[in-house]
Amino acid sequence: MKRIFKWSLPILGLSLAWVLIFAPSAKTSYVSYYSGDAISYKNEVIIATTDSGALEIYRQNGKNIERTARLKAEATAWGDEFSSVKLDYSGNRLLAYATAGFSLYQYDLSNPEQPNLLQKKTNTYFEWYQRVDKLGSHLVTSSEKGVKVWRVDGELFDVIDSYPVIVSNGLSIRFDAAGRYIISVGEDNLVRVYDTTKRAEISRFPVNYRNESDQKRLQFDSLNNEILIFDDFYLKRFSLAGDLLTYHPNSSFNGYSVEASGNPNYVYAANGESIMRLSKKNFRDGLKISAGNLNRNGWGMGLKYLNVGGQERLIVFNGGGIVVLNSTLEKIAAINASEVAENPKAKEALSLNSESYSASSGAKFNLRGTGFFPNEELIIKFANENSLINADSNGRFSTTLTVPTLSNRLTDIKVSGQDSNLTYSTSFEIRQ
């Protein structure tokens, strides 16, 4: 079983002629980074991610981010890959907890160049772990069977409690640093707040996503007991009861991450195209930079806030690499993705989005799509006309189409991938 995350990303506007002339027919496809954890250890920034299927450990060294270790999960009949990681302290030791299939691993990372496996626990009840995190002082895992609370004490490494909070993927659940609340967002676009002291769900309320993206993320501000979420339409701040406290329109097609900062006056947010530091009061005033300028194939998705020796640092899992920013969103350090994707695969859900679904013959409009194989050739069939275009390294495309000269009719626009055999279509009305 292999963990697959689907993205729904907007595409840069390119004309069909430009793509046909300049787009390469084949291009190296690198593993993209969209999630992970980071911690300040001895005033150094340590970063961990499992997006490549391995547990990768990085350390900031001046203007560079260096990979210190890359660990593979132990081979099983299930072909397990690492799926999540949480960094933590124990005394003077730096620890990493990582999930892979039915197993939970504990590593000592006090020497980041030489990780030491301390413990591994494999369940016998076929519970596929999606996420490992902290709920207060306790270690927790989440799966489609609920949340498990773990005791980690010397050689004791076992489940001591559980809660019936279920999500379809690990990015969609967050835990209260104070140890009381579990917050999740489901496939039904409902945020649920679970109170562990009452052992009951205490509220639920809707948010808005355009499709069944696995990138539904939220953040819980434990200092103020507030929920932050960046959906596809708005950046929002809620009370525990679901009251909408602040909101502001999303300037991009999708929302990804929002992070509370050490300053109560602002938050950090990412919507693919941009990384932002915004006023918590109105989510409007603040700073904004282009994620695409931070590294190759930059696309801002995952964020992690750190205080390092009294200075704010923002770690960005930026698609084509990992970046460290300061509080004014200046790039401090970066690394480009270097792991080559072993097999081409769709990185996101299939979708087509047109700026118009009805127009007269001769009119021009933009069509963009997602969910195809990286760099594969696509055939676009529009009424009786065909055109060719290449998907980019993320399986996305954008092009300008001209409405064919035909009498009034309802027709389809169909896009077919020549390597993946994936197809997607949408209806279009041609008017005189």
Q: Would you state the pLDDT for residue 375?
A: 82
Of 129, 148, 163, the position where a domain reaches its end is: 163
Strands 358-360 and 423-431: parallel
What are the b/e assignments for 95-110, b being 16+ CB within 10 Å?
Answer: bbbbbbbbbbbbbebb
Q: Would you state the pLDDT for residue 9?
A: 38
Greater confidence, 28 or 175? 175
Element (H, E) at 374: none
Q: Is residue 246 part of a domain?
A: no
User: Among 6-15, 95-104, 221-230, 358-367, whose mean pLDDT is lowest?
Assistant: 6-15
Q: How far is CA 417 from CA 191, 205, 356, 392, 412, in A?
A: 35, 38, 23, 12, 16
Report how far residue 71's alpha carbon sits from residue 97's, in angstroms, rounded to the nearest whole number: 12
Q: Find all residues with CB under 8 Å of 291, minimum gap 6, and list them.
A: 270, 272, 273, 274, 275, 298, 299, 300, 316, 318, 319
**pLDDT over 60 (residue 14):** no
Of 119, 134, 163, the position where a domain reaches its end is: 163
Q: Is residue 45 part of a domain?
A: yes
**pLDDT over 70 (residue 206):** yes
CATH number of the domain that residue 357 is part of: 2.60.40.1930
Q: Would you state the pLDDT for residue 286?
A: 96
Closest CA to 22 of 368, 376, 378, 389: 389
Tens digit of pLDDT for each residue in 369-408?
888 888 889 999 998 889 999 988 678 898 999 999 888 7
Q: Would you state the pLDDT for residue 17?
A: 34
How would you write 301-341 as a 3-class SS string? Answer: EEEEEEEECCEEEEEEEEECEEEEECCCCCEEEEEECCCEC
User: Among 104-113, 265-274, 322-331, 419-428, whose mean pLDDT is lowest?
Assistant: 419-428
Q: Which pLDDT band holds residue 13 (cuts at 50, 70, 90)?
A: very low
Q: Is residue 414 part of a domain?
A: yes
Q: Reduced to 3 states, what is the DSSP secondary structure of residue 56?
A: strand
Q: Which pLDDT band holds residue 157 (cuts at 50, 70, 90)?
A: confident
Q: Would you state the pLDDT for residue 4?
A: 39
Cβ of 12: how many Cβ atoms within 10 Å?
A: 11
Q: Would you state the pLDDT for residue 24?
A: 37
Residue numbers of the domain that contains 409: 351-431
**pLDDT over 90 (residue 184):** yes
- Token pair 């140890």 is found at 179
Tens digit of pLDDT for each residue in 274-313?
999 999 999 999 999 999 999 988 999 999 999 999 999 9
Q: For the chain, how big is the Rg over CA atoms in Å?
A: 22
Q: Which pLDDT band holds residue 59 (cuts at 50, 70, 90)?
A: very high
Closest CA to 205 of 243, 166, 258: 243
Q: For 363-369, what is the mean pLDDT?
A: 90
Q: Is residue 102 part of a domain?
A: yes
Greater confidence, 121 or 421? 121
Q: What is the mean pLDDT of the chain?
A: 88
The beta strands (E) that lie in 343-394 are given as 351-354, 358-360, 364-370, 377-382, 385-390
Of 104, 131, 163, the position where a domain reaches its end is: 163
Instruction: Quote the tokens at residue 375.
Output: 């760099």
Cβ of 164: how many Cβ atoms within 10 Å?
A: 11
Tens digit of pLDDT for each residue in 76-135?
766 689 999 999 988 889 999 999 999 999 999 999 999 999 999 999 888 999 999 999
Q: Is residue 208 part of a domain?
A: no
Instruction: Quote the tokens at residue 333.
Output: 């350090």
**pLDDT over 50 (residue 11):** no
User: 317 near 299, Cβ under 8 Å?
Assistant: no
Cβ of 392: how many Cβ atoms within 10 Å?
A: 22
Maximum separation of any 2 CA atoms in the chain, in Å: 77
Q: Is residue 41 part of a domain?
A: yes
Domain count, the chain: 2
CATH number of the domain that residue 74 is part of: 2.130.10.10
pTM for the model: 0.77
